[in-house]
């Protein structure tokens, strides 16, 4: 079985915004407590943050982390997380039926971001609160001093402002599960008023308005149209969320889900174009895909807590999906889709980063390790920076629930001109057949293959654990070659590969 790919230097999609490799941390389960923060852990720094987790995060070179939610933010009082820890209140979190100690707030999170070298992307509460909460939070975080809220920040130990540029105007406000759920018109008006107030403080802010929680919502895509008609002149991005599942154990359909993802992106992109045209605007609004991941493995075990049958525990194990090798392929496919839509998807955040549907897992007092999906995320973030190439792909395929033809070979390509490199991310969806793949490198002065990483496993359900941390891990590839301007590689059945070429 064979596939061909054409990569031409002049056939490009867009520069890739590095923030498409962002992440998300919410006050949910063990994402914060015993995730990034565990003062008694042997690796904890002076701020109580786990050093072993920080290293795994830092290695991925994550450009931005969204915080503090998520559903949590829609009933969150940010003021609870400032000032002396022993005076911070414990609150009941209605979103996840748990209790929140507020031991970690904006100061602690900001210090952690500095440690792992990432930027903050903050969300304001437009569920139970509104314009005042947003403008006060913004003043606290970004004003140099000499005002009520900025002076409080200084009193609490931070003299210099953090100058956060990215702000989310609420979270999933289309969802009836959300505290303060609103219809599109109600939310659109509130988001527009909040955006206006925040821009009165700083016109250079990047503001993200809530789009649909998923493409199966009854209000989609009218939600996007209505919200954008209210907010188009005041925001920079509209958020989308999507989670991926294989509950019926149909691998072929599961691995075709990025067709649904790409339809979702294109539908919202066309809605943006429609509203822009209707308003005769010169502004361009982009997509922030600020929640995405595989999520279904933990659904059953979470019910006791989420249905309120376990009281109000603090930082219980929630949404702790244990990812398998099959999920490596799915995450690789999702990232390929984001690269191919670099023209419109400018921010994306894997949800979440530690313990909660996350690429990194921890044991309280024990080790931290990389889940299976850590690796395609790592390769894309570290090596997928540059310009997305508009590849021509010819591959045999199959009929799936999501498309008439799903190609067995899914590939994205990135030209990193600054470092003189071409990088290809390839997934073979075929269960039993290897596929010989030739990539014609046109317009490039090709050199040698400088890195080749392969992920395969005989068991789709293989996982990494604290005791077997590298059961599913990349290995050095072999057999790929370049001759006469063509990169040739064999893609084993059910495999993920990264090939990097010096040009």
Token pair, residue 59, equals: 């290695």
> What pLDDT score does 445 carry?
87
Nearest alpha carbon to residue 321 among 251, 373, 261: 373
> What pLDDT score does 442 carry?
96
> What pLDDT score does 494 carry?
98
> What pLDDT score does 126 carry?
98
> What pLDDT score does 360 carry?
98
The span from the CA of 128 to the CA of 31, in Å, is 23
The span from the CA of 87 to the CA of 254, in Å, is 48
Cβ-Cβ contacts under 8 Å for 389 (sequence gap 6 or more)? 7, 8, 11, 12, 13, 412, 413, 414, 415
Show the low-confidence residues of the chain (pLDDT under 70).
none
Give CA separation, 355 vs 111, 164, 200, 315, 502, in Å: 20, 26, 38, 11, 36
Q: Measure CA of the first residue to CA of the last residue in the chain; give whole Å.
A: 28
| Catalytic annotation, residues | 172, 291
155, with CB counted inside 10 A (0-12, 13-18, 19+), is exposed
Query: pLDDT exceeding 90 applies to what percent of the chain?
Result: 99
> What pLDDT score does 309 carry?
87
DSSP class per residue in 105-166: -HHHHHHHHHHHT-EEEEEE--SS--HHHHHHHHHHHH--SSSHHHHHHHHTT--S-----E
The span from the CA of 166 to the CA of 123, in Å, is 9
Tell me how long the chain is.
Answer: 503
Please state whether the peptide bond connecting residue 221 to the residue before it is cis, i.e. omega within 30 degrees of 0.
yes
Q: Are strands 486-491 and 435-442 parallel, antiparallel or unpaired?
A: antiparallel
Residue with tokens 């174009």: 273
Cβ-Cβ contacts under 8 Å for 254 (sequence gap 6 or more)? 244, 245, 246, 326, 330
> What pLDDT score does 44 carry?
98
Residue 271 phi/psi, 5-degree rounding, is -65, -40
DSSP class per residue in 54-86: HHHHHHHT--EEEES-SGGGGG--GGGGSS-GG
**C-alpha count within 13 angstroms, C-beta hemisphere, residue 303:** 5
Residue with tokens 């210090």: 111
> What pLDDT score does 45 carry?
97
| pTM exceeding 0.95 | yes
> What pLDDT score does 57 carry?
98
């Amino acid at each position: 079985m064979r596939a061909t790919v054409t990569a031409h230097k002049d056939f490009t999609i867009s520069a890739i915004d590095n923030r498409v490799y962002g992440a998300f941390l919410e006050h949910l389960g063990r994402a914060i407590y015993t995730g990034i923060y565990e003062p008694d852990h042997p690796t904890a720094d002076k701020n109580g943050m786990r050093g072993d987790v920080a290293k795994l995060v830092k290695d991925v070179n994550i450009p931005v982390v969204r915080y503090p939610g998520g559903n949590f933010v829609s009933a969150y009082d940010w003021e609870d997380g400032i000032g002396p820890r022993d005076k911070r209140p414990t609150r009941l979190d209605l979103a996840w039926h748990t209790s929140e100690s507020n031991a970690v707030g904006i100061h602690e999170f900001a210090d952690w971001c500095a440690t792992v070298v990432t930027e903050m992307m903050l969300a304001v509460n437009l569920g139970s609160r509104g314009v005042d909460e947003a403008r006060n939070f913004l003043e606290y975080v970004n004003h140099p001093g000499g005002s009520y809220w900025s002076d409080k920040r200084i009193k609490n130990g931070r003299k210099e402002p953090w100058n956060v540029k990215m702000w989310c105007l609420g979270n999933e406000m289309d969802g009836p599960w959300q505290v303060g759920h609103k219809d599109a018109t109600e939310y659109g008006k509130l988001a527009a008023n909040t955006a206006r107030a925040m821009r009165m403080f700083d016109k250079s802010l990047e503001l993200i308005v809530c789009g649909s929680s998923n493409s199966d919502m009854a209000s989609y895509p009218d939600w996007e149209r209505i919200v954008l008609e209210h907010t188009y002149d005041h925001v920079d991005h509209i958020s989308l969320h999507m989670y991926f599942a294989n509950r019926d154990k149909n691998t072929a359909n599961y691995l075709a889900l990025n067709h649904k993802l790409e339809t979702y992106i294109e539908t919202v992109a066309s809605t943006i174009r429609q509203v822009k045209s209707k308003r005769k605007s010169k502004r361009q609004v982009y997509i922030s895909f600020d929640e995405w991941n595989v999520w279904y493995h933990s659904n059953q075990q979470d019910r006791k807590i989420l249905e309120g049958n376990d009281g109000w525990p603090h930082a219980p194990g929630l949404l702790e999906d244990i990812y398998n090798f099959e999920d490596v392929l799915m995450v690789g496919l999702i990232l390929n889709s984001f690269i191919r839509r670099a023209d419109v998807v400018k921010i994306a955040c894997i949800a979440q980063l530690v313990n909660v549907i996350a690429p990194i897992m921890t044991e309280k007092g024990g080790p931290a390790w990389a889940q299976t999906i850590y690796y395609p995320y790592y390769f894309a973030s570290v090596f997928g920076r540059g310009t997305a190439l508009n590849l021509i792909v010819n591959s045999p395929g199959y009929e799936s629930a999501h498309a008439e033809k799903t190609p067995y070979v899914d590939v994205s390509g990135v030209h990193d001109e600054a470092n003189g490199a071409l990088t290809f991310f390839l997934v073979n969806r075929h269960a039993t057949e290897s596929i010989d793949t030739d990539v014609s490198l046109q317009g490039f002065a090709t050199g040698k293959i400088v890195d080749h990483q392969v992920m395969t496993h005989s068991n789709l359900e293989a996982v990494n654990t604290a005791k077997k941390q590298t059961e599913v891990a990349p290995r050095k590839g072999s057999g790929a070659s370049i001759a006469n301007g063509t990169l040739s590689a064999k893609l084993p059945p059910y495999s993920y590969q990264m090939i990097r070429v010096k040009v």
